[in-house]
Chain A
């Protein structure tokens, strides 16, 4: 199985970080993977996206043109990538920030009010982890078990105190129905 994941949103939402968490979890699980960020004159509030491929086989091109897992955290990203998603793709939408519905009917869509859930829980910067929890639940691209090991690798030692709250956010998304 090859998961071609595209995560997109505003700069500052932790788009690249969410991709990194997936990549490190894939690494811990011994999978083949690549992580490719959009780079350039990016800034907080601008657009950011990140391509992650996790596979049982060696990764060819690291570029995701036609995701089978699409995670969008703002409207411009949904507008831009909705058409690109593969037929049968799973699309994850932050329904707090995106009020419209996905128009395509040949994909599976999951609406999660991640930003609102994060605000309500007092962790306003962790909407990315909440939506990631849902992604892990619905796609099985990596397993939820052992998430802490991956977080330990991504979160720098200086910020180790944030591992628990990240884990909690992922769990909240994972349990969201």
Chain B
């Protein structure tokens, strides 16, 4: 068994991707995810892989589209403005039903924004992002260990469901170092009869395409895809609960916000307030059932986000307005403090005399 090493989150993603059998990386540099590309640039040539710094984000995502159509594990990474540029390609990859990994180490926006951590691409990541009806499976790591583990999971899910997946991190997760136990080597385990591997004159041509000019056909691809999505919603939801058994206030947070919130929940408990933390690990599919269940025994939710309040909409939908949802947030690259989260907890707990 290997031992724990100290790595930046960005580097942990890169090493985990290589261990998951990814040998093709296409990207364009942007803070705060640059260490990921740098790691790939260093390692890929040594292991017979391909690192290519494209001329733009749009070129990079289309290179991903190309390699994905051959069935090989492939990825790109960027930060918020760069991921916006990739949206057209991501929509094509979703429309062509291809597995690929897109990493977004988020920074503040909109526009060029800043370079400090943010979670304000939640809508873009979970609701589709590009044009057309589609979803990505979106995983949100909240430790360097999860940066590695969920990278491997993203590749696995992408292959299993033949669709693009996104690892949605933020600048803090990318930049911080923590001890990490790197995942074992793995690779593609499912058959990919659809892949463009050359017919060798022994089979019919495979066609990878997202263009359907007959609306009846296009409608069917959409219906089929959403049937697949409903299976994913049933089988692939992941979340973590902390002190939720008897919680009266349910804090919902992911990524770095969950780390901050955990401190606040611990402090609230010390002060006699029954607070708990529900941490979505899959943002799509969203852990709606867990939220719904929490709504039955909690008197309020606090949504802690590094945005103007995006996940809060999913919490409201899932909890069916059974109890109030308060937003506790910072934006533009700022991070809520545990004290701010604690104040929100106290506010909704009503014990703020």
Contacts and interface: CB of A to CB of B under 8 A. Distances in A.
Interface of A: 20, 23-24, 27, 32-37, 39-41, 59-63, 65, 153
A153 B260 contact: no
A60 B4 contact: no
Interface residues of B, number: 23
16 contacts: A20-B177, A27-B6, A33-B179, A36-B172, A39-B171, A39-B175, A40-B116, A60-B263, A61-B256, A61-B259, A61-B263, A62-B172, A62-B178, A62-B256, A65-B337, A65-B338
B24 interface: no
A32 B4 CA distance: 11
Interface string B5-16: 110000000000
Nearest to B173: A62
Given A60-B266, A61-B338, A39 B32 contact: yes
Contacts of A153: 6
Nearest to A34: B178
B62 to A, nearest CB: 30
Interface string B248-272: 0000000010011011001000000
Given A35-B176, A39-B32, A60 B260 contact: yes
B243 to A, nearest CB: 13
A86 to B, nearest CB: 13
A41 B175 CA distance: 14
A27 B4 contact: yes
Contacts of A20: 6, 177
A67 to B, nearest CB: 14
Nearest first, the 5 A-B pairs at minimum CB distance are A35-B177, A60-B263, A36-B176, A61-B260, A60-B262
A61 B177 contact: no
Nearest to B337: A65
B115 A40 contact: yes
Nearest to A52: B177
A121 to B, nearest CB: 29
Contact of B178 (A33, A41, A61): A33
B335 interface: yes
A175 to B, nearest CB: 28
B175 A37 contact: yes
B31 interface: yes
A63 B260 contact: yes
Interface string B313-344: 00000000000000000000001011000000
A35 B178 contact: yes
A153 B5 CA distance: 9
Contacts of B263: 60-61
Contacts of A65: 337-338
A66 to B, nearest CB: 9
A163 to B, nearest CB: 17
Given A60-B262, A61-B260, A23 B115 contact: no
Interface in B218-276: 256, 259-260, 262-263, 266
Contacts of A24: 6
Given A39-B175, A59-B178, 7 more contacts: A24-B6, A27-B5, A40-B115, A62-B176, A62-B178, A63-B335, A153-B6
A60 B31 contact: no
A61 B262 contact: yes
A61 B172 CA distance: 10
A169 B115 CA distance: 35
A160 B153 CA distance: 37
Interface in B159-211: 171-172, 175-179
A21 B43 CA distance: 25
A159 to B, nearest CB: 17
Interface in B137-172: 171-172
A23 B177 contact: yes
Contacts of A61: 256, 259-260, 262-263, 338
A79 B5 CA distance: 35
Contacts of A27: 4-6, 179
